[in-house]
Amino acid sequence: MIQVQSLSKTYKSGKAGLHPFDHQIPQGTALALTGGNGAGKSTLIKLLATIIKPSSGTITPGGRSFSYMPDDLEFPLQLTAIEALGMLGVLKKVDGKRSLQLLKEVGLYDARHQKIGTFSKGMKQRLSFAQAMLSDDDILILDEPTNGLDPYWIKWLKTYLKKERQEGKTIIFSTHDLSLVEDLADEMLFFYEGKVLIRGRVGELRGNGERLEDVIVKRLEELNG
């Protein structure tokens, strides 16, 4: 279980990116972080991935390793897909066959010798997901994983992540795509101005058959009068 205790982040500008909060993420579950731009979800993702340091509080990952997919990973554009994955594979001490396998899975095998600078947004996003899956880590931390993906690859990603969760992986992802939350997540945190405004298991939040969109809008209307 991942334990978050009194975690907060205040930036040098004085803006509170994340107000103090506590949460527990059980092993083998999927947690969705939603909210508008600047609401705090990406701040939490970066704190969990140790990209930035908290202003207060602690994160206890239970001694487990994690993989990280940033929102917009900037690969060296002069490298080919196989060169980029191969380089990262060496750093992660992963066999080269794993890189080829992942390129096949994300539909980039035929473009493996193509320079990344020629890739579309969707191709770069799939390559970013492939690099996150290079090592067999217990926790997957994904920042907006469906950005730039077409419906085919969004469906593929959902299926892939469901399988990973069934195999005991813990998945933490931020997204604006509420269909991804409904299809994949066990629990959702909705952030608003750096605070958790809505928290709960997805099935319970939709207890009356409502869509998450309606649940969120209703709560925001209550907040804003």
Task: Tell me which DSSP letter residue 39 carries.
Answer: S
Give tens-digit pLDDT for 200-220: 999 999 887 889 999 999 888
- Domain co-membership, 152 together with 50: yes
- Distance, in Å, from the CA atom of 88 to the CA atom of 107, rounded to the nearest integer, reads 19
- Distance, in Å, from the CA atom of 166 to the CA atom of 222, rounded to the nearest integer, reads 37
Instruction: Give the model's confidence band at 136: pLDDT under 50 very low, under 70 low, under 90 confident, else very high.
Output: confident
- Domain co-membership, 97 together with 55: no
Residue 209: its pLDDT value, please?
Answer: 80
Residue 182: its pLDDT value, please?
Answer: 94
- Domain co-membership, 119 together with 14: no
- Does the structure show a pLDDT above 80 at 64? no
- Domain co-membership, 113 together with 160: no
Helices (H), 26-150: 41-48, 81-91, 96-105, 121-132
Residue 73: its pLDDT value, please?
Answer: 83
Instruction: Give the model's confidence band at 62: pLDDT under 50 very low, under 70 low, under 90 confident, else very high.
Output: low
Joined tokens for residue 140 = 């997957």
Domain that holds residue 88: 73-135
Residue 155: its pLDDT value, please?
Answer: 95
- Domain co-membership, 129 together with 141: no
- Domain co-membership, 218 together with 116: no
The full length of the chain comes to 225
- Domain co-membership, 153 together with 45: yes
When divided into structural domains, the chain yields a total of 2
- Does the structure show a pLDDT above 70 at 192? yes
* Dihedral angle sign, alpha carbons of residues 181, 199, 33, 91: negative
